[in-house]
């Protein structure tokens, strides 16, 4: 049946059977759920950088940021703000890092797009990435042009 196969193929696309986060969202694996609204789910990271470290994820399986439909942006921002505020309030944090790893070279271990919300406390000792200098102003300008051209 045409309608039936359309529904099945779309459901299959939305859930990846091998994905641990799809299983968490489906309730097949337990999670410390903190948010469940519309297309967005959030739960505590099992190995927190700081206590209260939360993961905000689209319920549908999208591998990276580049697969997430822009239409989900409003719901995603609402969730990031609500969960971020609540994590800060509950932990007494005075700062919050929001991070996302995309592709293995960037440290992505779970291939279901997700945002890390990490509560921060002054002097908590967490160091972020190290920074470097460009070799020249020309090098920086060349890269600026290349990125602008890639945006189109």
The set of catalytic residues is 114
User: Binding segment for Zn ion among 38-46, 64-72, 106-114, 131-139 (CB under 5 A)?
Assistant: 106-114
H helices within the chain, ranges in order?
2-14, 20-25, 73-91, 137-151
Q: Around 112, how many Cα atoms within 13 Å sit in the side-chain half-sphere?
A: 23
Burial class (CB in 10 A: 0-12, 13-18, 19+), 88: middle
Identity of the residue, 27 or 152, whose beta carbon is nearer to Zn ion in the bound complex: 27
Identity of the residue, 21 or 41, whose beta carbon is nearer to Zn ion in the bound complex: 21
Q: CA angle, 142 as apex, 138 and 143 as ends, to 5°?
A: 120
- The backbone torsions φ and ψ at residue 11, rounded to the nearest 5 degrees and listed phi first, read -65, -40
> Binding of ligand 5GP at residue 7 (CB under 6 A)?
no
Kindly tell me which residue out of 1, 109, 122, 146 binds ligand 5GP, with binding defined by CB under 6 A: 109
CB 83 within 8 A of CB 48: no
- The backbone torsions φ and ψ at residue 32, rounded to the nearest 5 degrees and listed phi first, read -85, 80
> Binding of ligand 5GP at residue 45 (CB under 6 A)?
yes
Shortest separation between residue 127's beta carbon and ligand 5GP, angstroms: 17
> Binding of Zn ion at residue 60 (CB under 5 A)?
no
Shortest separation between residue 7's beta carbon and ligand 5GP, angstroms: 29
> Binding of ligand 5GP at residue 46 (CB under 6 A)?
yes
Kindly tell me which residue out of 72, 112, 114, 119 binds Zn ion, with binding defined by CB under 5 A: 112
Binding site for ligand 5GP (CB under 6 A): 20, 31, 43-47, 101, 107-110
């Amino acid at each position: 049946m045409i309608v039936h196969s359309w529904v099945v193929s779309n459901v299959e696309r939305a859930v990846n059977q091998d994905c641990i986060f799809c299983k968490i969202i489906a309730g097949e694996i337990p999670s410390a759920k903190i948010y469940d609204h519309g297309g967005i789910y959030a739960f505590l990271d099992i190995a927190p950088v700081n206590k209260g470290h939360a993961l905000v994820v689209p319920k549908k399986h999208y591998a990276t940021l580049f697969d997430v439909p822009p239409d989900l942006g409003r719901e995603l921002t609402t969730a990031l703000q609500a969960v971020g505020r609540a994590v800060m309030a509950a932990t007494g944090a005075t700062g919050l890092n929001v991070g996302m790893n995309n592709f293995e070279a960037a440290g992505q271990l779970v291939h279901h797009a997700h945002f890390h919300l990490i509560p921060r406390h002054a002097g908590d000792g967490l160091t972020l990435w190290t920074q470097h200098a460009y070799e020249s102003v020309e090098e920086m300008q060349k890269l600026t042009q290349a990125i602008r051209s890639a945006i189109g």
